[in-house]
Structure 1
Amino acid sequence: MLQEYFHIPDKIMVGKLNSLFTRTEKKWYYKMRLNHGKHAWPWWKCELNRKWANNSWRFRMENSFQSVIFNSEKDKPLTWFLKQKDRLSSLHPDMSDPMINMKILRKFGGELEHSIKWRCVEPCSTED
């Protein structure tokens, strides 16, 4: 997306990969660089799609989202919310923010969900 819209050169795109990745992704990136050497952005884009844009990855993301429920004793609300938002956004890039918010809100359950719904201003977004 960045290269197509902003015409960023290959060297800069590939150079940014190191700073974008964390933990497992960064280890994967270093291993790929070590095994395959330097390549242009189109090669990396193909490898990224092969690694993460597949049915297995989608299945894991959906299961992760469906299985997790907010626990106020162990989860920090903002961290938990943003993680769920990232999962939904990656699974459904065309989904609107209000729809994402409602899907995440259902994961709270019980009185907490009810309290949040009553305090939300009707078109609310995560930027407010």
Structure 2
Amino acid sequence: MVFGIGWYFFQFTYENGNVSSQKTIFVRIQGEEILKVKEPGEFIIRNQEGKYITTLHFDGNKVWVTDSNCPDKICEKTGKIGPGGSIICVPNRMIIEFKTDEKKGEKKIDVETW
């Protein structure tokens, strides 16, 4: 019985060796949150005026950019990021953050300057 409870706890609480948590991708342009992603897929990011900015991919574990309209393409070269990582595009003033809810109740201060 103890073994069964332990197995159940391990099986449904842990995911790939890490504590299971909600994974969320936040996309902000000029400090304004324009997209919040919780499900895997391909997403077209447009600015407030509707102009194409980038194509974002999320597979449930990693997030990456495959196309961007910026001249440097640094966001594409960043590659795949995991929880706690971010992709920043300075020409488009865009930040893509990969966060988890593991630390509930923790307040952080976030400042953006361009």
Same topology, TM > 0.5: no
Higher relative contact order (CA 8 A, sep 6+): 2
Q: Which has the higher helix share?
A: 1
What TM-score does the superposition give when structure 2 sets the normalisation length? 0.23
**TM-score between the two structures when normalised by the length of structure 1:** 0.21
Q: Which is greater in Rg?
A: 1
Please identify which structure carries the higher strand content: 2
